Structure 1
């Protein structure tokens, strides 16, 4: 293997840089990680066994650098910023408890499901949800589809499904409290 890093830059630099940009979407970070990759390769070139091409070896180092960078970025995220951007944060206070406790429902859920007026309000509230939330809510909670089936049909992971369902249920809760429970004396 040629131990001259300048040769690596000439032969593989553009490829590695494009590889990093496609994954990071940030030119400055891509350049930094390319530099880190070449430095790590130069320091460890004596351990290169030659079982792959130099480019494959360099891409492997770059992949690890990208993964480490992403992990570090996730750890360093400002939690308060994340909470502010979470649409469900309005329901909770700073210590994580309900800012306003959910209203108690006195109706029997089975009877409610037979009540056409309730079904109409529920359909109206579900119609106000973002499309993906509405879709997974209908598939999972209304039609009773299994998690795997919903994930495959919506092309999402089980974790994403549970996040979408949580947000959909919170949105429905608020809407039903306004348009169903708030009508207590009118019904």
Structure 2
């Protein structure tokens, strides 16, 4: 048995590499150590299934990748609503239970009449111009020109999930801007 196929030598020969790999993905020393230990244990237990079609290191990295993915999935499933949205810039609009902090104001004007108002269009354009560039693009394509999801995704090279996140954030920002600059003025026409 050469040293490559001797599980007792794996830590010496591959441990540092596997640890650095885990650190680059997890950014946590204790977690990286745990993943390394779980990987070596799984490799040792499953060595009889190693087909030899790759190097031991490549095989161990494959096991490590699966261990990291399983850990991340488990962590995501166990997160609470608060943890999941804590870094979301739109979270200020919602309570801890996911309902509106402050319900959107009811429009006093007829939306069809607003579409005819040059003044409203001017305020809307100003609000849209304040959005981040990617949000501006997807909002204009999807909500103003009426392009379908597939077309917008292909044009912007994004997934449909990313599109929906961008649209959600754009709409919330526009809501706030319009409430402040149009509806909050008391000079609606």
Do Structure 1 and Structure 2 share a fold, with TM-score over 0.5? yes
Gaps of at least 5 residues in structure 2 are none
User: Could you say what secondary structure the match of 1:99 adopts?
Assistant: coil
Post-superposition shift, 1:17? 3.1
Deviations 1:11-50 (A, max 9, x none): 4334433433333344443332122111111122123233
4+ residue runs of structure 1 moved beyond 6 angstroms? none
Q: Which runs of 5+ in 1 are unaligned?
A: none
Counterpart for residue 122 of structure 1: 124
User: Aligned-pair RMSD on alpha carbons?
Assistant: 2.5
**TM-score of the aligned structures, taking structure 2 as reference length:** 0.82
How many residues of Structure 1 are paired with residues of Structure 2 in the alignment?
187
> 1 CA distance for matches of 2:167 and 2:8?
52
Higher alpha-carbon deviation: 176-185 or 164-173: 176-185
Out of 1, 9, 14, the position equivalent to 2:11 is 9
The structural deviation recorded for 1:151 is 2.2
Give the direction of change, closer, same or farther, for the CA distance of 1:165–1:27 in structure 2 (3 Å limit): same
Aligned pairs for 1:25-44 within 5 A: 25-44=27-46
Using the TM superposition, give the Cα deviation of residue 155 of structure 1 relative to its aligned residue in structure 2, in angstroms: 3.1
Match of 2:96 in 1: 94
2:86 is the counterpart of 1:47:
no
Alignment map for 1:103-142 (pairs within 5 Å): 103-142=105-144
Query: Aligned residue for 1:82?
Result: 84
Query: Under a length normalisation based on structure 1, what TM-score does the superposition of the two structures give?
Result: 0.82
Structure 1 residue 144, shift from structure 2 partner: 2.2
Alignment correspondent of 1:152:
154
Match of 2:21 in 1: 19
Residue range with higher mean Cα deviation, 45-54 or 157-166: 45-54
Q: Select 2:183's aligned residue among 158, 181, 184.
A: 181
